[in-house]
Amino acid sequence: MNTFKKLKGFYLPYKKYFLWSNFFLLFVTAITVVYPIILQVTIDEVVLQDRYNLIPYICAVFLGLMIIKGISTFAFQYLGDYFGMTSVYKLREALYDKLQRLAFRYYDNAKTGDIMSRLTSDVEGFRFFLSAGFAELIRIFLLITISLGVMFFYSIPLALVTMAAMPFLIVVVYQFDRRVHPAFRKIRKSMGQLNTRIQENVSGINTVKSLSREDFEIGRFSGSNADYKDKYLNTSLLWSKYFPLMEFIGNICVVALLSFGGYLVINERLGLGELVAFFSLVWYILGPLMNLGFVVNQFSQAKASGERLIEILDANEDIVEKEESIDEPIKGHVTFNHVTLTYTKDDDSALKDICFDAPPGKVIGLIGSTGAGKTSITQLITRFYEPEIGEVLVDNRSVKDYNIKTLRKHIGFVLQEPFLFSTTIKENIAYGNPDVTDHQIMDAAKRAQAHEFIMNLPNGYETMLGERGMGLSGGQKQRIAIARAICINPSILVLDDATSAVDMETEFKIQKALKEVMQGRTSFIIAHRISSLKHADEILVLDEGQIVERGTHDELLNNDGQYKRIYDIQYQDQEEIMQTAN
């Protein structure tokens, strides 16, 4: 029960609904056990004694009990569902809140499909046991206890003989639980992997089709699908083995009842009606005990689901905000003091002893090969990661001293692959600043050279976008992302290859607009095109996480170093393109 103890904070606040539900369950169960008693009275007192005048009274009592049971069943089921659904409503919110607060390190290893599986099927599996599983356990306990009480009231010897095989049934159920729980945990894990495979395939369908890898993806999906099938069938095999054994033990109890009970009736030590009632009551015990296997099944699934949910709730939050964090405007003075960053333990450092100073209004260009550490620098400014050694300062204060929301709302990001939401263009541009006016949205779009193509769309700024901006070109998505960054009016602006997907003419227009936007702001331009950053106040050339060169565009060209070699390659490429065109 450790899993349920760890999650008790989500369902204990609503225990009153659970208790009221079980209060009505007590009525439902008690009335159920009354049926055999009515049957016994009908046989022994009416049929065998020829007292048929009692039938109307018995019918009236039976009808009254049915009405009470119907009302109690409604209250029991509704309150039980209310308890379960309200509990997981809070649990789901806590999980989503936790996912928003987890650092990038968690997502570096997590898979989207697996996370989605936890927030959907695992939450639902846990909810189902809260709504029905707990109540079913209590119903089984009440039904067995009350039925045993009535049976011992009728005949202690017959009750003892009938119950002789019950301990064996309990042992079988216990063994079943021990084996089925690990099996269900494997099923849950396999389902997460299957969802991951589907999510990755759908998200990357353009790449799959462009490289004609449909057959390969079908094969990979078939492998994951087969793994899920095999694990589910292994669990089904367990159930198939144990359930017949439970049923066999139950039938032994019935044989013992009929044999010894028949003997007692023949010797007039037990009434015929009592034997018939006994037969019904024994199934009120055997049925729930065998049904206990289904409940154990549900419990094991809920336990496996709960464990996967706890893994998210207990995940380490690498980025922790100080209790007395600073919440004040940021000017944008960025300083790196001997910063070293390692993403994974025992792996090579992504950044090594990085030092630079960028006062407000300064433009820093970052260039280097893929994996050189350009993006890592900007991710440290926003505290997406923590440096292993050294310190990152903003306005001469450590970034650790700031309120995280305050820090990040003063930093505008435009990524190489911008993410757009499945909503209107207007809402995408205003996403970082919901209070922005329509005029400001339009002005930001004009600066980003996006206004013209937006107005050519069927509904202009109210045009609904598909998933991840489906329907727009890469350049159009980047221009919307630039407009979104402009709208938040950041003190620090990060352009991570922000114009890589636009043509040279549009890039020139955007850069012209951005020069105005960057005035007074600290700006970081990550680019592979030298044309995108040659106007920077200082250019940092990175290689394997280290700054190997720094200076202005002209200074670096005179150094005859790595920057000059990159410039010559790009210039030579342009020369060849011009010659080909001529």
pLDDT of residue 161 exceeding 90, the answer is: no
How far from the centroid of its chain's Cα atoms is residue 528's Cα? 36
Residues 470, 476, 479: CA angle, nearest 5 degrees: 125
Residue ending a domain, choose from 257, 288, 313? 313
Residue 92 domain-assigned (yes or no): yes
Domain, as residue range, for 102: 2-313
Residues 284 and 381 in one domain: no
Residue 323 domain-assigned (yes or no): no
Alpha helices in 434-537 (DSSP H): 438-447, 451-455, 474-487, 504-518
CATH number at residue 188: 1.20.1560.10
**What are the C-alpha distances in Å from 522 to residues 326, 363, 491?**
20, 6, 6
Tens of pLDDT, residues 120-151: 888 888 888 888 888 888 888 888 888 888 88
Residues 400 and 281 in one domain: no
Alpha-carbon distance 290 to 143, whole Å?
13
Residue 20 domain-assigned (yes or no): yes
Tell me which H or E stretch contains 92: helix 55-101
Q: Which has the closest alpha carbon to 205: 193, 218, 192, 195?
A: 218
Alpha helices in 350-436 (DSSP H): 374-381, 404-409, 425-429
CATH number at residue 333: 3.40.50.300
* Pair of tokens at residue 142: 């009440």
Residue 489 domain-assigned (yes or no): no
Residue 447 domain-assigned (yes or no): no
Residue ending a domain, choose from 280, 313, 346? 313
Q: What is the mean pLDDT of residues 1-21?
A: 87
Over the range 392-428, which residues count as b (16 or more CB within 10 Å of their CB) and which as e? bbbbeeebbebebeebbbbbbbbbbebebeeebbbbb
* Pair of tokens at residue 76: 């029991």
Alpha-carbon distance 125 to 304, whole Å?
9
pLDDT band (50, 70, 90) for residue 209: low
Quote the pLDDT of residue 468. Answer: 63
Strand partners, 365: 525, 539
Selected residue with higher pLDDT from 580 and 373: 373
pLDDT band (50, 70, 90) for residue 540: very high
What is the maximal distance between C-alpha atoms in the chain? 120
Residues 166 and 276 in one domain: yes
Percent composition of the chain: helix, strand, coil (DSSP 3-state, to 5): 70, 10, 20
Residues 292 and 381 in one domain: no
Q: Which has the closest alpha carbon to 22: 84, 83, 76?
A: 76
Quote the pLDDT of residue 426. Answer: 92
Residues 107 and 242 in one domain: yes
Residue 91 domain-assigned (yes or no): yes
Tens of pLDDT, residues 163-198: 777 788 778 877 777 777 678 778 877 877 787 777
pLDDT band (50, 70, 90) for residue 513: low
Residue ending a domain, choose from 313, 346, 371? 313
Residues 247 and 394 in one domain: no
Q: Report the relative pairing of strands 522-526 and 363-368 from DSSP bridges.
A: parallel
Residues 205 and 309 in one domain: yes
* 325 CB burial (10 A radius; 0-12, 13-18, 19+): middle
Residues 152 and 192 in one domain: yes
Residues 27 and 125 in one domain: yes
Residues 266 and 341 in one domain: no
* Structural domain count, the chain: 2
pLDDT of residue 532 exceeding 60, the answer is: yes
> Which has the minimum average pLDDT: 284-288, 320-324, 502-506?
502-506
pLDDT of residue 501 exceeding 60, the answer is: no
Following CA atoms 552, 553, 556, 561 in sequence, which dihedral angle do they give, to the nearest 10 degrees?
Answer: 140
Q: Which has the closest alpha carbon to 30: 146, 184, 185, 202?
A: 146
Residues 264 and 194 in one domain: yes
8 A C-beta contact, residue 155 and residue 292 = no
Among the ranges 110-124, 345-359, 514-528, which has the highest mean pLDDT value?
345-359
Selected residue with higher pLDDT from 477 and 519: 477
Residues 366 and 240 in one domain: no
